[in-house]
A and B are shown apart, each in its own frame.
Chain A
Amino acid sequence: MSPLHIQQGSSKHSAYDLRDPNSEVLERHTLAVIVANEPGVLARVIGLFSGRGYNIESLTVAETDHKGHRSRITIVTVGTPQVIEQIKAQLGRIVPVHEVHDLTVEGASVERELALLKVEGKGDARIEALRLAEIFRANVVDSTLESFVFEMTGAPSKIDAFADLMRPLGLCEIARTGVAALARGGAA
């Protein structure tokens, strides 16, 4: 933008936010999409991604404001900077979408995911699983003589690492919620 003396971010609109325009490098972005909690909104958002060939790495949704009928959809997506800009603009023009935040560029944020992991085993493997769970601060939420269900919350990478360690120890099932994320600091 420099030759034209337009301040970067001189508008809230994503079109002005021209980071590294021609980069072909894939970036991972976490988007928080605040939508009216009405039927079909989620289908519209998902349809946008499938219809235009964008990636969804993870997607979570739940009502967050019952009185105001708002839901928050958190989407982790991967694309070139140009594709990420398009995704935000396309999301922004869906009529029941109220706000689109790119948590990856709007300053620091925290991201957490919850996972439940079922590990089956006996003897040393079982003891080792429990020991590693302590190190990773995973909780035991169910146990039988031959299995544990661990609950853990953390960044997706931490859950990946824990799951990798549990695999040889008898990991047989895993359920993950996908990422929930918030910007750090006070109200935006």
Chain B
Amino acid sequence: MSQQTNAAQMTGAKMVVQALKDQGVEVVFGYPGGAVLPIYDELFQQNEIRHILVRHEQGATHMAEGYARSTGKPGVVLVTSGPGATNAVTGLTDALMDSIPLVVISGQVPTFLIGTDGFQEADTVGITRPCTKNNWLVKDPDNLAETIHQAFHVATTGRPGPVLVDIPKDVQFADGTYTPPQKAKVDHYQPRVKGDIAAITALVELIEQAERPVFYTGGGVINSGPAACQLLCELADSTGFPVTSTLMGLGAYPASGKNWLGMLGMHGLYEANMAMHDCDLMINVGARFDDRITGRVNAFSPHSTKAHIDIDPSSVNKVIRVDLPIIGDVGHVLEDLLRIWKSRGRKTNKEGLAKWRSQIEEWKAVNCLAYKGSDSIIKPQYAMQRLEALTKGRDRYITTEVGQHQMWAAQFLHFDAPNRWMTSGGLGTMGYGLPASIGVQVAHPDALVINVAGEASWLMNMQEMGTAVQFRAPVKQFILNNERLGMVRQWQQLLHGERYSHSWSESLPDFVKLAEAFGCKGIKVDHPDQLDDAIMEMINYDGPVIFDCLVEKHENCLPMIPSGNAHNDMLLPSDDVRAITGAGAALV
């Protein structure tokens, strides 16, 4: 195949499709328009690449993100010029924040119209420059194939991220020479993956002595791949060090593992946050000290030596000064780390660790996820617990929208493997979950894919139910319907004197009828006694389901570290909910 295409002459549009095939692309999420018609014409005349017709270009980008996060492969999007490209901006920004590899191909007005305010012209490379890892406007068909190959290389190498290739319509029509992937120049962009051995050895020394160590792991472990996750498990289990993870890293270390502390951060577990605060050695593996994690920076883990493994030098010392930076890929660094630690006799400070473990057990006993149950109203936490119990052990993937439900999902659903938890962490994009679930389902047609949603977020991209039905993606939309913008309501309760300014969902659709209108199944449940049967009905239905789960309207998501507080100053379920005042009130 590649022999035959060497130095082949073809149109730009054909090159696009050829380049995608040569990159191993199986599916493209897209939406046609004038400036990409030549590419659509080429798609029509082949069968290797599947095209999923979305209902809105934002949906395409989130589908591609779900596809990418659940497979480790880049997600590919095809959009037209102008509004097609601007609609993709939210997804590009989301992918940039969460380090998700996306390749977006956009049509552009012909080169001779660029700059004339032509029909559906937008400065796409200008608009997307700050929300892509790199982007290109291709003006010469001879450069087109090479640029696409470079785009794939950049999206997937080093810290992954979204890229965009903007292709004017005349370039799609023009003939040029196709460059196969092997001939494309990519040597300049090769971030270093091996860590500094001296630094890794220094970390081994710290590991040997630490009395109160903790692994603080993040999305970088997932980015690094399943082998890196395996190494993390081996390291944690052979040292016996406890592991906590960010929202983005859930599943890298199994939730059933004996060293699992649970998620940390603003809505993380008490034991995880206390361990971070009191540790003497913090080993950050592929996490970026986000402000949801650190709380007040000058009170963050005051007594620890901090090591940070990260592939991106700009993540190091950005927010928190660390003592021992190790620049490299998680998988490569952990491999060296394990080898050196083993060769030096697998030493740990057994006495110190035993004390540390009993301290952690005390924190666990606080039972920070406790909530008041109810016989008559479905508590959102209860719904999550039942969903977990009834789907555990299945081939299950979870996506979420953004809000309280997202945090309850993170707290109550357990992940024993990576790439099974897709959520918008950095940008916090409401409307992410439904399209993301479709992207996941497209990649894993036989799996059980559930989007845990809030009703407000879900409405933001609900048009994509049409996509789910058309492409027979049996995604389950599990809506925790509190008829409130719950997370906003919670902040207004705590920070704004219970003045609930515009934070309720009015004129909601009848979700069961809506499901029927889309040609799928709707299930509504409002009593705890019916919940299990309803969930089973959802799971067993062969097709997309909108599950309207009416829950307690005013439940708060706890525990919570109010912005501006230290880790050891959390709001717990047992506390009377108190107003947040002072400097923290100005933070987000």
Chain A window 74-113, contacts with chain B (Cβ cutoff 8 Å), 1 for yes, 0 for no = 0000000010011001101111101000000000000000
Contact with B along A1-30 (1 / 0, CB 8 A): 101111100110111101001100000000
Q: Is the CB of A15 within 8 A of B126?
A: no
Asked whether, in the complex, the Cβ of B327 is within 8 Å of the Cβ of A82, the reply is no
- A15, B325: Cβ atoms closer than 8 Å: yes
Contact indicator A1/B323 (Cβ below 8 Å): yes
**Stretch in B127-135, B550-558, B570-578 touching the partner:** B127-135
Contact A21 B321 (CB under 8 A): yes
Indicate if the CB atoms of B314 and A95 lie closer than 8 Å: no
Q: Is the CB–CB distance between A98 and B188 below 8 Å?
A: yes
Q: Are A6 and B199 in contact (CB under 8 A)?
A: yes
A92-136 with Cβ < 8 A to chain B: 92-96, 98
Interface hit among A36-44, A57-65, A167-175, A178-186? A36-44
Q: Do B323 and A4 touch across chains, with their CB atoms under 8 A apart?
A: yes
B125 is contacted by which of A4, A40, A93 (Cβ under 8 Å)?
A: A40
Let me know if B48 is at the binding interface, CB within 8 A: no
The answer to whether B198 and A90 touch across the interface, beta carbons within 8 angstroms, is: no
Q: Encode contact with A along B307-325: 1 for CB under 8 Å, 0 otherwise.
A: 0000011101110010111
Q: Are B202 and A15 in contact (CB under 8 A)?
A: no
Task: Report the bound CA distance from A51 to B129 in whole Å.
Answer: 11
The A-contacting residues of B in range 204-243, CB under 8 angstroms, are: 205-206
- Assess whether B199 is in contact with A44, with CB atoms less than 8 Å apart: no
- Chain A's closest residue to B196 (CB) is A11
Distance between B323 CB and nearest chain A CB, rounded to angstroms: 6
Interface contact tally, CB-CB below 8 A: 78
B188, A86: Cβ atoms closer than 8 Å: no
A93/B317 in contact, CB under 8 A: no
Instruction: Give the interface size bracket for B toward A.
Output: 20 to 34
A14 touches B313 (CB 8 A): yes
Cβ B198 vs Cβ A44 within 8 A: no
Residues of B within 8 A of A96 (CB): 134
Q: Once the chains bind, are B137 and A86 in contact (CB under 8 Å)?
A: no
- Kindly list chain B residues whose C-beta atoms are within 8 Å of the C-beta of A93: 158-159, 191, 312-314
Chain A residue numbers with a CB within 8 Å of B313 are 13-15, 89, 92-93
B154 within 8 A of A: yes
Residues in B lying within 8 Å of A, measured CB to CB:
125-126, 129-130, 133-135, 137, 154, 158-159, 188-189, 191-192, 196, 198-199, 202, 205-206, 305, 312-314, 316-318, 321, 323-325, 327
With A5-B202, A6-B199, A43-B129 already in contact, the answer to whether A15 and B324 are too (CB < 8 A) is no
Does B317 lie within 8 Å of A7, measured CB to CB? Answer: no
Nearest-Cβ distance from residue A77 to partner chain B, whole angstroms = 15
A7 touches B314 (CB 8 A): no
A44 nearest CB across to chain B (Å): 6
- Whether the pair A22, B154 counts as a contact (CB closer than 8 A) is no
Contact indicator A4/B134 (Cβ below 8 Å): no
Q: Across the interface, do A36 and B135 meet the contact criterion of CB distance under 8 Å?
A: no
Partner of B198, one of A10, A22, A86: A10
Complex-state Cα separation, A36 to B188, whole angstroms: 10
Q: Please judge, given known A-B contacts A15-B317, A51-B130, A90-B314, whether A7 and B137 are in contact too, CB under 8 Å.
A: no
Tell me if A89 and B321 are in contact (CB < 8 A): no
* Most chain A CB within a 10 A radius of its CB, from B312, B317, B327: B317
Complex contacts, A22 vs chain B, CB 8 Å: 321
Query: A6 contacts which of B135, B188, B191, B324 (Cβ < 8 Å)?
Result: B324
Is B327 a contact of A40 with CB atoms below 8 Å?
no
Cα distance, A94 to B206, chains bound together (Å): 33
Residues of B within 8 A of A1 (CB): 323
CA distance A98 to B312 in the complex (A): 15
CA gap between A86 and B316 in the complex, in Å: 8
